[in-house]
Amino acid sequence: MIRENILKIRSQSSQLNSSSNLRVLHLAGSPVSDFYYHLSTSYAKMTVQPSGVSSYYAVVNPDGFWQLGPSLDQLYEKIFFKDMMAILPPIDVVIPHMFCLPGMTSYRAFFEDVFGVAVVGSNSHCITVVNDKFLTQNLLSASGIEVAKSQLLRQGDTVTIQPPFVVKPRQNNVSMALTLVENHTQMAEALEKGFESHKTLLLEEFIPGEEFSVAVIERNEELYVPPIIEYLFNDDIFIKEFPDNYGIDSEEISTKPSFQSIFPANISKNIFDKLAETAKKVHLILGCRDYSLYTFRIHQETNKIYLVDISLLWSFNQKSTISQMIVKDGEILENLALELWNYAFKRKFMN
């Protein structure tokens, strides 16, 4: 059976090699956990398929084995990584759909820096910095971006920051172990929850005020900001927690967040411009590439714009936040996806 599948893959390789279409490899799964595996494949399964693209899939399982196939519903037997690379069809560009730390960093670095294939999105060096929330805060603060005051906390450390504050993992790409501490009585439970899965936590001053999502997309050597989303919270919900950002039910994505939104945001042109310019500045400071997504809060008393979160993963499906933004602006998702994928491929020959 394995030999038969290898022959099928080689046959598909021949077809891809002779195709004039852009040959795209969708990189999905996770070697870390079932959670990250299902999160990744759920998003990858919904990715648009633009005309002029030939897609192929490479999926890593939590047991470390890999699978190849023409679709996520048609993956062949599990094989070792070295065997997978030996029979991988010819590809022009990689679209990463991995949320775990190795998927966001090591695998991107391998395909781009070692294997020499163009990768859509920010490179592994940028993502390594952004994944460290404490390091990112210090870097941006030194560059004039407003960020919340924070404290790095390890087991046994004394909490010096005063409530209200948000408990976050220092390094994580999804909003897990994210808890708002409004008073001292809630502190012990929130810290216990955080330390269950993370050795180091970030205690971040809570910024009261309106919250916005702002995307930056590189187009025609300019930074384009599509319509902004405003989030509405009630007396019981003050922050977006998992699964609001990445909710999944078994292997499917939940699309019912526990908060409401105004889209496009009900803001003046002046506020839009300030948010857009701040987002562009952050994009450039961090060395982001192709696209980026930011969460800002405008302090209800000082009106200062604070950066509270960064996301550098876009799976190019209809449910993704950036996708919804560009569609709201009248763009066709498939066309913009193909534009960015083609640019990533051409970028390989510019450097």
Contact at 8 Å (CB) between 197 and 175?
A: no
> Quick one: pLDDT at residue 337?
98
Domains of the chain, first to last:
2-121 (3.40.50.20), 137-145+207-313 (3.30.470.20), 150-205 (3.30.1490.20)
> Quick one: pLDDT at residue 234?
64
> Quick one: pLDDT at residue 349?
82
HSE toward the beta carbon, residue 335, CA cutoff 13 A: 6
> Quick one: pLDDT at residue 348?
84
> Quick one: pLDDT at residue 318?
93
CA distance 162 to 168: 15
> Quick one: pLDDT at residue 286?
98
Tokens of 184: 């001292």
Q: What digits encode the pLDDT tens for the residues 7-49?
A: 455 455 545 454 579 999 999 999 999 999 999 999 999 999 9
> Quick one: pLDDT at residue 233?
77
HEC readout, the chain: CHHHHHHHHHHHHHHHHHCCCEEEEEEEECCCCHHHHHHHHHHHHCECCCCCEEEEEEEECCCCCEEEECECCECCCCECHHHHHHHCCCCCEEEECCCCHHHHCHHHHHHHHHCCCEECCCCHHHHHHHHEHHHHHHHHHHCCCCECCEEEEECCCCCCCCCCEEEEECECCCCCCCEEECCHHHHHHHHHHHHCCCCEEEEEECCCEEEEEEEEEEECCEEECCCCEEEECCCCCCCCCCCCCCCEECCEECCCCCCEEECCCCCCHHHHHHHHHHHHHHHHHHCCCCEEEEEEEEECCCCCEEEEEEECCCCCECCCHHHHHHHHCCCCHHHHHHHHHHHHHHHHHHC
> Quick one: pLDDT at residue 19?
55
Low-confidence residues of the chain: pLDDT under 70: 1-19, 173-177, 234-259, 351
Predicted TM-score (pTM) of the model is 0.89
CA distance 290 to 297: 24
